């Protein structure tokens, strides 16, 4: 039985490994597509055929309200926001809120996405009173892959921001993980999975949801930074 998954990209580093283990154990064919939250909404709104959706709770709530998904769901974990630079660049200080603000204001370019992470960062910069100063040197992309490419190929003092999971995964692709945001301003996004109403995958989809809550899956997700 084939199971089609549409998932938020932030959980990709851990979810990919969990799905590999699930395939070996259950022998189901699992196909997963990763996208940002706005892209998930559009694809689902366009009626893309899918069995399981993995996304922040607000996206799943919209599906349930529209009668497109079951109310039952399982939580994979939560992911925070981190800071990235290219190897060789000067490491910014981010241990405190004031250090973080100073590092952003001193950067030549601040790069982040237009998804859940980017939405939070916009509001954070407003609260910190630095939105106006950052506006002229901010670059935003639809997803983190473009953020990674921009920062890793930079020549100056660029700072990238994104989900800690994808930053850590990108350390083999030209990024350096500086660390998470200071605790006082950190934001965690929770990710959960649910089955789409009338999914043709049936029991296979149910087996996958149960597997995502297993001790083995939790161990894999935790090691990828999904806590």
> How many angstroms separate the CA atoms of 149 and 186, rounded?
24
> How many angstroms separate the CA atoms of 10 and 110, rounded?
19
Q: 81-185 sits in which CATH class?
A: alpha beta
List, in sequence order, every residue forming a beta bridge with 75; answer none if it has no partner.
192
Considering the chain, what is the average pLDDT of its residues? 95
Q: Assess contact for 205 and 199: CB atoms under 8 A.
A: yes
H-type helices in the chain, by residue range? 12-26, 37-45, 57-65, 97-106, 116-128, 131-135, 144-152, 164-169, 203-212, 215-223
Per-residue pLDDT tens over the stretch 70-118: 899 999 999 999 999 999 999 999 999 999 999 999 999 999 999 889 9
- The dotted CATH code for 2-78+190-223 is 3.40.190.10
Please indicate whether the domains covering 2-78+190-223 and 81-185 agree at the CATH topology level: yes
Helix/strand number for the chain, H first, E second: 10, 10
> How many angstroms separate the CA atoms of 54 and 40, rounded?
9
> How many angstroms separate the CA atoms of 127 and 77, rounded?
27
Per-residue pLDDT tens over the stretch 121-158: 999 999 999 999 999 999 999 999 999 999 999 999 99
- Domain coordinates of the chain in residue numbers? 2-78+190-223, 81-185
Enumerate residues 6+ apart whose C-beta is below 8 A from 47.
Answer: none
The pLDDT of residue 53 is above 90: yes
């Amino acid at each position: 039985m084939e199971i089609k998954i549409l998932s938020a990209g932030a959980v990709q580093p851990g979810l990919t490994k969990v799905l590999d283990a699930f395939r070996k154990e259950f022998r189901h064919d699992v196909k997963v597509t990763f996208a940002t939250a706005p892209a998930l909404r559009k694809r689902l709104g366009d009626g893309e055929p899918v069995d399981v959706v993995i996304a922040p709770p607000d996206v799943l709530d919209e599906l349930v309200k529209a009668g497109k998904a079951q109310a039952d769901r399982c939580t994979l974990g939560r992911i925070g926001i981190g800071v990235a630079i290219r190897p060789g660049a000067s490491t910014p200080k981010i241990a405190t809120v004031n250090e973080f603000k100073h590092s952003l204001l001193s950067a030549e370019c601040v790069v982040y996405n237009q998804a859940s992470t980017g939405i939070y960062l916009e509001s954070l910069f407003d609260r910190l009173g630095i939105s106006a100063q950052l506006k002229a040197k901010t670059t935003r992309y639809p997803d983190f892959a473009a953020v990674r490419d921009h920062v890793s190929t930079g020549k100056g003092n660029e700072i990238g921001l994104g989900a800690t999971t994808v930053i850590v995964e990108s350390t083999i692709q030209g990024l350096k993980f500086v660390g998470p945001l200071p605790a006082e301003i950190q934001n965690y996004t929770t990710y959960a999975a649910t089955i789409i109403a009338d999914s043709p995958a049936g029991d296979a989809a149910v087996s996958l949801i149960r597997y995502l809550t297993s001790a083995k899956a939790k161990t894999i997700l935790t090691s990828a930074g999904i806590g």
